[in-house]
Amino acid sequence: MNRITHIIKATGISGAERHLITMLPELDSESFDIYVIVLTEPKKPVDQLFLTLQQAGVKTERMIINRHADLYLVIRLACRLRDLAPSIVHTHLLHADLYGTIAARMAGVPAVISSRHNDDPFRARWPLSVVLRIINKYTNRFIAISERVRTFTVKTEKVPVSVVDTVYYGLTVDEHNRQTIDARAEFGLSKGPLLVCAARLTEQKGHKWLLQAFRSVVDQLPEASLLLLGDGPLRAHLEDTMLNLDLAQNVRFAGWRTDVMDILPSADLFVLASEWEGFGLSLLEAMSFSLAIVATEVGGIPEVVLDGETGWLVKSRDSDALAGSILAALRSPYKMLECGQRGKLRVQNTFSVPKMIFDTEKIYNLILTQIVCAKVANSRHDVLSTHNGINKDTV
């Protein structure tokens, strides 16, 4: 059995972490021995991620990362990887890409795969861009979660197109025995239209544009409500923005929730105002409940949400356009219903977990085959070298 060690740096549970929670338990346990190392900050142990993976039967451990530049972490990781002796190290997110790749090579791991979960603008900035181009040379293969991220990885990080594969996130939704939450009653909201946004409270997710747009929506539909699911460093600032826009009666900050899938059935519309986005797993979750979408046309979002078919797409950082599409959706209930139904079918047909698992295992098997071929080639080379040496001595 081939051991594959995943390394991810986590401060909470967002798209990349939820991807692992969905994917790892479904991989073929007879072919792959999966192990996870979660890099965590001292004050953010991400207990929920750790416990969720363990409860799913995935062997997991934590390793502290003390700062962005934690060189000692490389040594600790390399020592641990020598003990684990994986055939492949599979990294997720920036810190794991950097530290995990270096440590894997120091430990003599045969192959490294990196999943690219976002088209992060900072990857294109000096000096990180130079560092990544060096690190990428020691990575055997890359998995992009969307065609947009694949293009970004090739053009921005200068990775050969032949070693980058696109594997979309997959989603499984258990519609049986699910306890739905009445979000309006839970959060003290009116009975009017309810918009939900599930996203970390960071600059990337564009909440400031969403709040500005929602001010215009409330001017037209005073009973409308917006529920923000998620937490992050911008929470205090965004709460101030909400108060300055006089939206305290219409907006609720719910914080980080483990029951998002129980809340979504209460929504009328799902909104996402990201400034950049590799994929947008929350969009799949919303579509799985037949929710129409209003989102920005950035990154991989147009690959998930089809404009005019499963929702409305608008330019990023444009609160007027965002407000206009939200109002158009809420004033077209039959159109929203049609978009929601088509969205659910799209999740089932295009973004299924079995397809994601099949595509991922195909890449693992390809790399493992290459490892075996390289070993055979090296063995033959050693035999020939020894043979030639004997002949030379004999002569």
Task: Provide the residue type at 328 as one letter.
Answer: A
| Architecture per CATH, 2-170+352-382 | 3-Layer(aba) Sandwich (3.40)
- pTM for this one? 0.88
Q: Which residue has the tokens 């693992």?
A: 364
What was the pLDDT predicted at 392?
A: 43
Amino acid making up residue 19? H
Q: What is the CATH architecture of 183-350?
A: 3-Layer(aba) Sandwich (3.40)
Q: What local confidence, expressed as pLDDT, does residue 11 receive?
A: 85
Domain residue limits, the chain: 2-170+352-382, 183-350
Q: Which residue has the tokens 């986590």?
A: 10
- Which helix H or strand E contains 358, and what residues bound it? helix 353-394
**pLDDT tens over the chain, length 395 residues:** 899 999 999 988 888 999 999 999 999 999 999 999 999 998 888 898 999 999 999 999 999 998 878 889 999 999 999 999 999 999 999 999 999 999 999 999 999 999 999 988 889 899 999 999 999 999 999 999 999 999 999 999 999 999 999 999 999 876 545 678 999 999 999 999 999 999 999 999 999 999 999 999 999 999 999 999 999 999 999 999 999 999 999 999 999 888 999 999 999 999 999 999 999 999 999 999 999 999 999 999 999 999 999 999 999 999 999 999 999 999 999 999 999 999 999 999 999 999 999 999 999 999 999 999 988 877 766 665 655 654 444 33
**What pLDDT, on the 0 to 100 scale, is given for residue 380?**
67
Cα separation, 77 vs 189, in Å, equals 48
**SS3 annotation, the chain:** CEEEEEEEECCCCCHHHHHHHHHHHHCCCCCEEEEEEEEEECCECCHHHHHHHHHCCCEEEEEECCCCCCHHHHHHHHHHHHHHCCCEEEEECHHHHHHHHHHHHHCCCCEEEEEECCCCHHHHCCCHHHHHHHHHCCCCEEEECCHHHHHHHHHHCCCCHHHEEECCCCCCCCCCCCCCCCHHHHHCCCCCCEEEEECCCCHHHCHHHHHHHHHHHHHHCCCCEEEEEECCCCHHHHHHHHHHCCCCCCEEEEECCCCHHHHHHHCCEEEECCCCCCCCHHHHHHHHCCCCEEEECCCCHHHHCCECCCEEEECCCCHHHHHHHHHHHHCCHHHHHHHHHHHHHHHHHHCCHHHHHHHHHHHHHHHHHHHHHHHHHHHHHHHHHHHHHHHHHHC
